């Protein structure tokens, strides 16, 4: 039994339990009717809300969790993962030995589950692949048809690939599609199997069995590898594609950890800003790029970002050269007054004072880390014509020029 089921059982009325989960744990709970011919099931769909504490075990279990009137589990995805920033920030209970590392596809969570012999497709917002929007009499599909087409292949039935599959298993996918508003460019739809949950004990099948099931169903697996050390994980993080959402780790005890990709997050923020995208958004993207290859990957996908991104990179490279050259001159000034007089003209003079006071300061790293708003202002001052021209192109990427951000 799940912890959230035990918690719900403490209430006399299941609706009161749902009310508590909404108001106190910020778990989104929506009530649906699951129909199979003349048979109807009243079910609840639970998922973490935007302000939910993902460290709470009840919240982590409520990941595309579908319960019936008696709080019995119809479907659930794997527990929401712990989020770690770097390879050395894994939780204490996570075991690296034998852990599997997968690159997360830029898609939507989909679960396929069985109720009394019938297979259903669920998402984070729907129990049957359909969404009923406010004010609409008819539902809208949530990739339901695309998923069915991907599974059916040459068969007349979409669920033919599930024949002989254990009905007590819930199949968890990530579905990518050109019709989705993804950050990574998607050329064709694909269904990635990311986990299979045994609903009897809430355990995931082994990685070997997961691969066998994917092969049998004719669906993809995201690129995965076995990780046995922190250094191997660090290398995997470094080799991650520039626009991938991040990496998902799973140890032999089914503990999951998600390591987000800061480049993906920065590009997503710019893209979702719509007509309010600003040069500082582009500077934030540059700030998290690891090397030139990352910049090239972004410019290939977002051509309207290219002129400003490349201009900001040039300005930053120039700043590194200027600061290092200026330090080479100023460092020989014995008096503080002479030192200040030598560097006073430069917009990054504060970094040179930092280096004078702390010899361990890396000027190159500090220049790369300057605030995006400062980098854009320096670029505008040094290359006004090019800066204005490149900024105008953001309008055609769904954005407009402006530097009012403070981040």
CA distance 66 to 73: 6
- pTM, two decimals, is 0.88
Q: Using the 3D structure, point to which of 76, 91, 117 is the last residue of a domain.
A: 76
How, if at all, do strands 82-83 and 256-260 pair? Answer: parallel
CA end-to-end distance (rounded Å), the chain = 45
Instruction: Judge whether 336 lies within some domain.
Output: yes
Kindly state the average pLDDT of the residues 94-115. Answer: 94
Q: Could you tell me if residue 120 is left (phi over 0), alpha (psi between -120 and 50 degrees) or otherwise beta?
A: beta
Q: What digits encode the pLDDT tens for the residues 57-96?
A: 999 999 999 999 999 999 999 999 999 988 888 999 999 9
Residue 17 lies in a domain: yes
**Residues of 269-291 as b/e, b for ≥16 C-beta within 10 angstroms?**
ebbebeeebbbbbbbbbbbebee
Mean pLDDT on 143-164: 83
- pLDDT given for residue 398 in this prediction: 40
Task: List the domain range (segments joined by +) for residue 40.
Answer: 1-76
The dihedral region occupied by 218, where left means phi > 0, alpha psi between -120 and 50, and beta the remainder, is left
Domain end marker among 16, 44, 76: 76
Question: What digits encode the pLDDT tens for the residues 241-287?
Answer: 999 999 999 999 999 999 999 999 999 999 998 878 899 999 999 99
- Is 239 a member of any domain? no
Residue 175 covered by a domain: no
Structure-block tokens of residue 33:
């009717």
Whether the per-residue pLDDT at 140 is higher than 80: the answer is no
Residue 219 resides in a domain: no
Looking only at the bridges linking them, the beta strands covering 169-176 and 65-68 are: unpaired
Report CA 102 to chain centroid distance, whole Å.
Answer: 13
Tally of domains in the chain:
2
In a domain, 366, yes or no: yes
Rg of the Cα atoms in the chain: 26
Q: Is residue 282 part of a domain?
A: yes
Instruction: Give 330's contacts (C-beta < 8 A, 6+ positions apart).
Output: 339, 342, 343, 352, 356
| In-domain check, residue 231 | no
State which of 17, 43, 76 marks the end of a domain: 76
């Amino acid at each position: 039994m799940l912890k959230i089921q035990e918690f719900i059982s403490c209430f006399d009325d299941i609706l009161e339990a749902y009310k508590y989960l909404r108001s106190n744990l910020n778990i989104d709970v929506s009530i649906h009717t699951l129909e199979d011919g003349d048979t109807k099931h009243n079910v609840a769909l639970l998922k973490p809300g935007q302000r939910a504490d993902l460290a709470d075990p009840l919240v982590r279990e409520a990941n595309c969790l579908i319960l019936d009137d008696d709080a019995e589990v119809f479907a659930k995805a794997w527990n929401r993962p712990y989020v770690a920033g770097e390879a050395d920030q894994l939780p204490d209970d996570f075991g690296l030995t034998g852990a599997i590392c997968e690159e997360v596809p830029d898609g939507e969570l989909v679960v396929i589950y069985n109720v009394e012999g019938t297979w259903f497709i669920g998402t984070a917002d729907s129990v049957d692949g359909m969404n009923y929007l406010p004010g609409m009499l008819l539902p809208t599909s949530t990739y339901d048809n695309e998923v069915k087409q991907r599974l059916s292949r040459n068969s007349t039935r979409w669920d033919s690939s599930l024949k002989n599959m254990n009905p007590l298993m819930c199949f968890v996918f990530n579905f990518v599609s050109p019709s989705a508003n993804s950050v990574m460019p998607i050329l064709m739809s694909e269904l990635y199997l990311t986990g299979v949950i045994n609903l009897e004990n809430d355990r995931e099948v082994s990685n070997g069995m997961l691969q066998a099931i994917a092969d049998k169903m004719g669906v993809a697996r995201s690129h995965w590898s076995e990780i046995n050390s922190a250094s191997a994980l660090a290398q995997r993080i470094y080799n991650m594609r520039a626009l991938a959402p991040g990496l998902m780790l799973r140890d032999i005890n089914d503990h999951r950890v998600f390591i987000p990709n800061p480049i993906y997050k920065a590009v997503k923020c710019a893209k979702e800003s719509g007509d309010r995208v600003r040069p500082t958004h582009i500077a934030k993207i540059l700030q998290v790029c690891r090397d030139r290859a990352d910049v090239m990957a972004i410019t290939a996908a977002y051509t309207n970002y290219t002129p400003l991104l490349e201009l900001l990179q040039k300005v930053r490279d120039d700043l590194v050269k200027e600061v290092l050259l200026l330090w080479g001159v100023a460092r020989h000034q014995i008096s503080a007054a002479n030192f200040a007089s030598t560097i006073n003209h430069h917009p990054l003079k504060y970094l040179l004072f930092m280096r004078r006071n702390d010899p361990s300061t890396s000027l190159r790293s500090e220049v790369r880390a300057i605030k995006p708003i400062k980098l854009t202002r320096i670029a505008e001052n040094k290359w006004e014509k090019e800066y204005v021209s490149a900024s105008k192109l953001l309008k055609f990427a769904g954005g407009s020029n402006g530097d009012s951000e403070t981040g």
